[in-house]
Every structure is written in C-alpha cells, then in structure tokens.
C-alpha cells in the first residue's frame, strides 16, 4: 500500500479544486435530470429551479468537495464520498452516476494494491445492494447496471495508470543504476590508465634521472671547488633533483588509492527485500522462497542475480497485469538457481499481446537480452518463456566459479 502524499500546493491543488467544483456542478445538474422517462418533456419544467433540497444539496457537496484532498488521503475521501452518495439514494433522489465516488475510486486504484481497491469496491456495492433490497435506495435494475459498469471501468483505468507509473519508475531507476555502473566502469578505466602511466614514469624516467643525479654528484666530489667542471656538474645535479621533485608530485597526482575514491557499492542478494518491498508498493504482490542454505556468494554472482530478479519483476509489472509473482533462490553446492514467475497470461497468449500493441516475442527487448548476457557472463544459462501453469517464467542457473 502506498503512503498518502503530503498536502500539495500550486498546480496540483488547483487542479483537484477545479475537479471537485466540476463534479459538484455535474452532480447538482444531474440530480434534476436523474433517470428521466422523457428528458425533452422534463426539460422546460426543470430549467426553473435547478437547486435541489437543502439536505440533498449538502450531501452532493459532501460527495464532491472532499475530492480536493483525493491525493492526500484517498481512502478517507472515498469513504466520505460513498456515504454521501448512499445518503442521496436514501433520500429517494438517485443521480445518473455517482461521479464523486467514481473519481475517488480512480484515485484509490492508482495508489493502492488491487486487494485494497477490490475490497473497497465490494464494500460499496454491498451497501448499494443492501439499500436496494431494503428499499432505502430506489434504484432500478438498469441504473444499478450503469453503476456497476462505471465502477468496473473506473477501477480498471486506475489499475492501468498505476501499473504504468510503477513500471516507469522501475525503468527510470534501472536507467539511473546503469548510468552509475557505466560511470564507475569509466572511472575505473581512467584510474587503471593513470596507474599504468605512473608505473612507467616511475620505472623509466624517474630511475634514469636518479642515475644522472647520482653520477653528477659522484663526478663532482674529486674536483676542486670553483673549477668550471665542478660548477657544471653541480648545475646538472641541481636540475636533476628539481626534476625528481616534479616527477614525485606528478606521480602523487596520477596514483589513485582505493580509499581515496568514492565508489557506489553494487547491490547484492541482501538488497532483495528492499527491491521486493518497492515492487509490492507498486501493486505487484511478490513472495520470496529460499531453498538450500543461504550464504555469502561471490560479488559478481550476487550482483548479476539481483539484476536478473529486478529485470524479471519489471517485465511482470509491464506485461502481466494484476497478478502475483514469486522469486525463488536455490543455493546449490556449486551454483545459484534463480527463478522468477508470475501468474499472468500476457505471454502465454500472444494474441492478447498483439491486441495491446506489444511485441509478440518476449525476448525482443533489451531487458531480456541483458538478463541473458548476465547469465552468460558467469558461464551460466537463462531460460525465459511461458510457465507450465500459465504466466511467464524466468529461470537462471549461475555457476559460482564460472565466467
């Protein structure tokens, strides 16, 4: 479940305020033309007093004005709008559609897990059916069908927007991490080149200059002070020592010690709980199953296993729709088996992918290629395709001493 956002100001608050006012206007107008037998016959008589009774007007305002805070507290706003809408029905003045309730349901569907949204929808429909059965809500079968279809469409739209936003956030995070990895590799290459230059300067130039200085000092000692040769050798020795001092300063700049460089630690399997928590917050329930004896593994194995799980879960968010995923880590004697599977049916039915405008082959994206490359880098293998019981499955076997 996503936490409520802080109170917003500026364009976001103005947009929600305008939305609430618009919903209120539509509800007030709709209350005058609710389910008319003949709209054109009723129109002349309804043009006059367009304002409903004070009680109905107060309930219509209670169903619309709280939408100003729909991004701050989606569930409380939904509860207030639903109670107000049911109150309007109890006063024997049903509206064509509970617009305030639908807008509130959209906000909840975008921000919360499917189980929470479906529970709220079931509670609202149950209260509506109870009102119809007890006679408190004079809603016809046709009008109830309109309510039901509108609610299903709104919740489905909210789910789609929520999944798209979550997938975009994960893709953006993956791109940022890839840029950091690329920057780290570039920095490491520069450091290696600097170290190579420093070694060559130290082994070749500094050594030769040191020999020149030592020979000049040795040749100067037997000569009398003030002799022309003694002055020339002293100048050679002085210039050589200055050159050595400059070379030492240059070597100090070229050398990069590990503790002097800030490195971003690569993620390992101990970072999986945080990743799974983020995916759950995005609306995809995930279970983690660990088999064998969990133990520290080589850094390259843990990093690539983490990336494979991250990419597979991102694909599930993008393509599987409302479903549930499972991550399995199997610690073997000489390998680590990683499996990510979901219960969706997007990849199991290519015709549905074609209807959505997505590629028919799941291996056509860069993410799938990246997972195969990570497994091959360790000398392992990766299989991706429809699962036995439906959905999609990614399974990798990563040797601990391969590559």
Q: In angstroms, rounded to a whole number, what is the distance separating the alpha carbons of residues 34 and 46? A: 11
pLDDT bracket for residue 38 (50, 70, 90): very low
Q: What is the pLDDT of residue 380?
A: 93
Q: What is the pLDDT of residue 291?
A: 93
Please check the confidence at residue 175 and state whether its pLDDT lies above 60: yes
Q: What are phi and psi of 123, to 5 degrees?
A: -65, -40
Q: State pLDDT tens for residues 246-268.
A: 777 777 766 654 444 334 457 88
Cα-based distances in Å from 17 to 77, 81, 179, 381: 14, 15, 39, 55
Which tokens sit at 162? 């929520």
* Domain 269-399, second-level architecture: 2-Layer Sandwich (3.30)
> How high does pLDDT run on average in the chain?
77
Q: What is the pLDDT of residue 348?
A: 43
The residue whose two tokens read 């509206």 is: 95
The answer to whether 330 touches 339, Cβ cutoff 8 Å, is yes
Q: Could you tell me where the beta strands, DSSP code E, fall in 39-178?
A: none
Q: What is the pLDDT of residue 402?
A: 65
Which tokens sit at 313? 């879960």
The residue whose two tokens read 């040797």 is: 399
- Greater pLDDT, 150 or 331: 331
Lowest-pLDDT range of 50-59, 119-128, 152-161: 50-59
The residue whose two tokens read 């990798």 is: 396
Q: What is the pLDDT of residue 336?
A: 95
Q: State pLDDT tens for residues 263-315.
A: 445 788 998 998 898 888 777 899 999 999 999 998 889 988 998 998 888 88
Q: What is the pLDDT of residue 346?
A: 47
Largest pairwise CA distance in the chain: 130
- Greater pLDDT, 45 or 293: 293
Q: State pLDDT tens for residues 200-241.
A: 665 557 656 766 777 787 787 788 887 888 888 888 888 888
Q: Percent of the chain at pLDDT above 90?
A: 12
Q: In angstroms, rounded to a whole number, what is the distance separating the alpha carbons of residues 308 and 315? A: 11
Calculate Rg over the CA atoms of the chain.
Answer: 35
Contacts of 142 (CB under 8 A, 6+ apart): none
Q: State pLDDT tens for residues 176-198.
A: 888 898 988 888 888 777 776 76
Q: State pLDDT tens for residues 355-391.
A: 443 333 344 455 687 788 889 888 899 999 888 777 8
Q: What is the pLDDT of residue 35?
A: 44
Contacts of 273 (CB under 8 A, 6+ apart): 288
Let me know how long the chain is.
403
Q: What is the pLDDT of residue 204?
A: 58
Q: Which of 336, 340, 339 is nearest to 399 (CA)?
A: 336
What is the pTM (predicted TM-score) of this model?
0.41
Report the DSSP beta bridge partners of residue 303.
none
List the domain boundaries for the chain: 11-139, 191-260, 269-399
Q: What is the pLDDT of residue 250?
A: 72
Q: What is the pLDDT of residue 269?
A: 92
Q: Which of 131, 163, 171 is nearest to 147 (CA)?
A: 131
Helix, strand, coil shares of the chain, percent, nearest 5, are 65, 10, 25
The answer to whether 316 touches 344, Cβ cutoff 8 Å, is yes
Contacts of 51 (CB under 8 A, 6+ apart): 28, 57
């Amino acid at each position: 479940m996503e936490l409520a956002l802080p109170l917003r100001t500026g364009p976001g608050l103005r947009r929600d305020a305008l939305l609430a006012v618009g919903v209120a206007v539509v509800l007030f107008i709709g209350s005058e033309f609710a389910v008319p037998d003949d709209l054109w016959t009723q129109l002349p008589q309804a043009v006059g007093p367009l304002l409903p009774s004070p009680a109905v007007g107060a309930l219509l305002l209670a169903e619309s004005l709280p939408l100003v805070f729909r991004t701050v507290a989606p569930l409380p706003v939904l509860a207030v709008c639903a109670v107000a809408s049911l109150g309007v029905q109890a006063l024997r003045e049903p509206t064509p559609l509970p617009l305030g309730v639908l807008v509130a349901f959209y906000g909840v569907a975008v921000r919360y897990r499917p189980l929470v949204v479906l529970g709220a929808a079931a509670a609202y429909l149950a209260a509506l059916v109870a009102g119809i059965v007890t006679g408190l809500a004079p809603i016809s079968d046709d009008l109830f069908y309109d309510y039901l279809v509108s609610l299903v469409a709104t919740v489905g739209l909210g789910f789609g927007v929520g999944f798209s936003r979550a997938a975009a956030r994960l893709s953006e995070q993956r791109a940022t991490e890839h840029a950091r990895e690329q920057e780290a590799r570039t920095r490491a290459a520069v450091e290696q080149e600097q170290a190579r230059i420093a070694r060559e300067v130290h082994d070749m130039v500094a050594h030769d200059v040191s020999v020149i200085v030592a020979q000049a000092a040795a040749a100067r000692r037997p000569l009398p002070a003030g002799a022309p040769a003694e002055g020339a050798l002293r100048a050679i020795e002085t210039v050589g020592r200055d050159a050595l001092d400059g070379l030492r300063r240059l070597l100090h700049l070229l050398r990069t010690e590990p503790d002097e460089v800030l490195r971003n630690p690569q993620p390992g399997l101990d970072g999986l709980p945080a990743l799974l928590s983020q995916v759950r917050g995005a609306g995809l329930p995930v279970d983690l199953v660990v088999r064998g004896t969990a133990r520290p593994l080589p850094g390259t194995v843990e990093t690539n296993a983490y990336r494979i799980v991250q990419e597979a879960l991102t694909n599930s968010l993008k393509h599987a729709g409302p479903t549930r995923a499972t991550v399995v880590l199997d610690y073997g004697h000489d390998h680590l088996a990683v499996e990510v599977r979901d219960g969706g049916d997007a990849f199991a039915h290519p015709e549905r992918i074609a209807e959505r405008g997505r590629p028919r082959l799941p291996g056509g994206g860069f993410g799938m290629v990246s997972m195969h490359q990570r497994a091959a880098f360790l000398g392992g293998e990766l299989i991706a395709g429809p699962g036995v019981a439906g959905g999609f499955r990614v399974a990798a076997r990563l040797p601990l001493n391969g590559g």
